[in-house]
Chain A
Amino acid sequence: MRVLMFGWEFPPHISGGLGTACFGLTRGLSYISGLQVLFVVPKAFGDEEQQGISLIGANQVPVKHRKLNLKHFSRKLDYIEVGSRMMPYTDPDEYFRIEKSKKEKGAFEFVQTDEAGQIPFTGTYGANLLKEIHDYALVANVIAQDYSFDLIHAHDWLTYPAGIAAKEATGKPLVIHVHATDFDRSGGSVNPVVFDIEKRGMEAADKIIAVSNLTRRTVIEKYGIDAEKVVTVYNAVEPLEKKDKPAFQKGTNEKVVTFLGRITMQKGPEYFVEAAHRVLQKNRNVRFVMAGSGDMMHKMVRRAAQLKIMDKFHFTGFLRGEEVFSMLAMSDLYVMPSVSEPFGISPLEAMQSNVPVLISHQSGVAEILTYAIKTNFWDVDAMADAIYGVLHYPALSEMFVKYGKKEVDALKWEKSALDVKMVYDSVLNEFY
């Protein structure tokens, strides 16, 4: 069985959960005998090394094909890069702003979506995300005709049109993988263009994989998709590589409670601030850290200042690889108060580092974790309670660390890949 997969970035260029999930899933699939993945990624050319076969696809978009020999993969991966500047976690408006800022800065660099607040308005016209998506779909059409495969698998809305195009070109069945919907990203005020693309993708698909029951419900209820067609396959987490000591050590004897992620509405940072305020009224021997950046960061700084907790509440800005590891090593509790989180791999990573986690019921990962504290994202009192409890009753956190580690170690991509394989099989059974 050969699968044409439209996915997202591979290490080392990983900007978030979507790339991590694509990578993990592909790696898991590589262990299934008789299954081959032809992996297509949108990628802006520039800093990457030029090797492998290059060809020009439709619309003068450069396309590169190479065979990657990746660590932890059972065999070589067919890897196709398409010269496109699409990025995960963007909507058309945001993309416009990012592209504009790039024009000003000159050289292309990987821009996080959090740039929004800092970009000066100039009035020059930038590139259009929807055009990029369209170009990508055109290339997908060409690729689909050039390669042979049995099935198409597309990850998240930006690649749905590509999946549809490939399906139209070849008539092969299409599976789409919903890692997030615009309802999660926007908190309800959906962008109609994005919604339309998502809905068309879901309707064109033969089967839909949702990363949690939470997301599955959204797909069924909000997009009006037949429940039969939607299957939940949970994400997993890469086993933790043995690392040396973290680069930074905790410099205080206070407890550290950490929020780590994009500071955007979806992640519920304001609830973390409010909960911190409540905890600090009872206990001053704790520090709260909000690590990451995003369009709500400045608002959060102001709120923390208003609450007069800034001597115990810290912002680190965007953290990179080694720093994330250090941050987790310093933490006594990891909090993810997401308002709407389709899955959420990051708490699993925290648990791997022996950090107890507090997650919201509104996250997909809450469906599979038992050794984690769960509260509603809006219930800051309960959250404060839980934070206080974990910090003060060592038995609680010891238990979470001990069993949580086991629990998270059992979540393997190999297993998720088998579930995905079952979806493939059912699609192919219906199809042929």
Chain B
Amino acid sequence: MKTICLYFQVHQPFRFRRYRFFDIGNDHYYFDDYTNESILNKIAANCYLPANKLLLKLLTQHKGKFKVAFSITGVAMEQFKLYAPEVLDSFRALAATGQVEFLAETYAHSLVALKDEDAFRKQVTMHSDMVEELFGQKPLVFRNTELIYSDHIGDMVARMGFKAMLTEGAKHVLGWKSPNFLYCNAINPRLKVLLKNYKLSDDIAFRFGDKGWHEWPLTSNKFAGWLKDLDKKEEVVNLFMDYETFGEHQKKESGVFEFLEYLPAEILKHKSLKFGTPSEVAARLQVVAPVNVPNPISWADEERDLTAWLGNEMQQEAFDKLYAQLPKMNRCTDSRLLKDWNYLQCSDHFYYMCTKFFSDGDVHAYFNPYETPYEAFINYMNVLSDFAIRLNAAVPFSSEEKELANLSGILEERDQKIKKLEEELQKLRSRKRTNTSGKTSRSAGTASTAASTKGKKAQKSAAKTKSKK
């Protein structure tokens, strides 16, 4: 008996607007709302809404038999809330069938796991909370950004209490071994590891619409046949892919929706095949061996490593400079800064800086708002510079900065006080006007108020000169 484990990834970043050097310190809004909204609406119309509708139909049709898993990043969920709440509703409808599992991941689709355990843990918790709030289930299985995995990351995930984790069945890690079994982490064997069968997954995700491919056209029947013909002893086939495969990467005209529509029936026709969610797979199957991954792997590009995000010196620099802010971020309580901090961490920004044009240029060009990786890098660093300035003001470090922040705090306090007093004065004055009709008393009143505002102004300017020092 083989279990087919279908998992879809949903993510959209908040793309930056063109943020110029002149904006640094002057304008703190970084996002290209128009692009973000129009891209999201386009994908929602092409993919999320029709695919969710189809899945809902299939899940009710094959009650209890057809199962899928999703992970939706925090930033994607935020964008749904902002631009397309109907997408969120349709995911909720899927969740309500009880046949859909939602996985945990990093809130911001970030690479934080490579940098800091504490921050990583925080982001995962944040995401899990959001999933629980929106879909009513607490994630038990973890998938890291871009399926990035190493023994060390697996260990951290295990310590966070997750039962299993998803990653790529990279050839250079597995060697002769098959991804179609359940493995476990090399450091912490309690964590089960599900490996993506990249050949069969990519047959759908990348090659489906390719007319030059010798297997084209791929039908559900043919695909189910392949699954059936796999080695009898193999226990699980993990088909992991971007959800945008349906309708966006593979256009509707390629017949990808029809493929999906008939796939469950074709698979369930065979007695030796059934569907299962990642947590079911982890609970029911026996671990065959630990998988050793000393260096991080991912599901991207031919190399299945981190070079798509951290391959060149620009990406390294941006990544290091971003996480250099971490100690200050840990002390930051400003909600807007915290929000921007999440969006800054999105791995997509680093992806845009990738210079590996020749191998996988097509995928990299996808929804990329920049003409060149250099532009992407310059823009990102400008945004980061402004962010660092704001953060420094909010979380002063050196004694001078502290004093400055302190003084400006006092100033602000005074300003507010003055405002309050002025308001009070206004109130009193208007009351006085209504109460008294005599000319003499009114003129006396205005004279005294003028004197008092003057006094306050002096006080204000004194505070200002103090802060300048």
Contacts and interface: CB of A to CB of B under 8 A. Distances in A.
Contacts of A297: 374
B22 A310 contact: no
B23 interface: yes
B98 to A, nearest CB: 49
Contacts of B317: 305-306, 308, 310
A302 B22 contact: no
B321 A251 contact: no
A298 B377 CA distance: 11
B256 to A, nearest CB: 31
Given A311-B321, A311-B385, A305 B377 contact: yes
B384 A311 contact: yes
Contact of A298 (B320, B321, B372, B386): B372
B26 A310 contact: no
Nearest to A316: B21
A316 B374 CA distance: 12
B239 interface: no
B378 interface: yes
Contacts of A305: 312-314, 316-318, 377
Given A248-B22, A301-B314, A311 B381 contact: yes
Interface string A307-326: 01011101111000001001
B25 interface: yes
A301 B20 CA distance: 15
Given A252-B389, A311-B388, A314-B381, A306 B313 contact: yes
A123 B340 CA distance: 46
Interface residues of A, number: 24
B180 interface: no
Query: Dominant SS at the B interface?
Result: helix
B231 to A, nearest CB: 47
B418 interface: no
B382 interface: yes
Interface in A257-287: 287
B24 interface: yes
A315 B386 CA distance: 14
Contact of B26 (A248, A301, A315, A316): A248
Contacts of B372: 118, 298
B374 A251 contact: no
A310 B21 contact: no
B298 to A, nearest CB: 22
A312 B26 CA distance: 16
Contacts of B24: 251-252, 314
Interface in B371-405: 371-372, 374, 377-378, 381-382, 384-386, 388-389
Given A297-B374, A311-B321, A315-B378, A302 B314 contact: yes
Contact of A310 (B25, B377, B389): B377
B224 to A, nearest CB: 44
Interface in A10-51: none
Given A310-B321, A311-B381, A311-B384, A251 B313 contact: no
A314 B388 CA distance: 14
A2 interface: no
A242 B64 CA distance: 78
A251 B372 CA distance: 27
A323 B321 contact: no
Given A250-B25, A298-B372, A311-B321, A316 B313 contact: no
B82 to A, nearest CB: 27
Contacts of B312: 302, 305
A3 B129 CA distance: 81
A310 B23 contact: no
Contacts of B22: 248, 251, 316, 323, 326
A249 interface: yes
A373 to B, nearest CB: 24
Nearest to A314: B21
Residue of A250, A298, A302, A310 with most chain B CB atoms under a 10 A cut-off: A310
A249 B23 CA distance: 9
A164 interface: no
Nearest to B25: A251
Interface in B7-32: 20-27
Residue of A248, A301, A326 with most chain B CB atoms under a 10 A cut-off: A301
B329 to A, nearest CB: 15
Given A297-B374, A305-B314, A308-B317, A316 B20 contact: yes
A154 interface: no
Contacts of A308: 317, 320-321
Given A301-B314, A301-B378, A302-B313, A249 B26 contact: yes
A289 interface: yes
Interface in B240-254: none
Nearest to A248: B22
Interface string A290-309: 00000001100110011010
A301 B25 CA distance: 22
A249 to B, nearest CB: 7
A395 B21 CA distance: 28
Residue of B22, B26, B312, B381 with most chain A CB atoms under a 10 A cut-off: B22
Nearest to B382: A314
Residue of B21, B314, B372 with most chain A CB atoms under a 10 A cut-off: B21
A302 B377 CA distance: 10
Contacts of B318: 305, 310
A310 B315 CA distance: 11
Contacts of B23: 251
A234 to B, nearest CB: 33
Contact of B374 (A298, A311, A312, A314): A298
Given A306-B317, A310-B381, 14 more contacts: A250-B25, A251-B25, A251-B27, A251-B389, A301-B314, A302-B313, A305-B316, A305-B317, A305-B377, A308-B317, A310-B317, A310-B377, A311-B388, A314-B378
Interface of A: 118, 248-252, 287, 289, 297-298, 301-302, 305-306, 308, 310-312, 314-317, 323, 326
Interface of B: 20-27, 312-314, 316-318, 320-321, 324, 371-372, 374, 377-378, 381-382, 384-386, 388-389
Closest 4 CB pairs of A and B: A251-B25, A251-B26, A248-B22, A305-B317
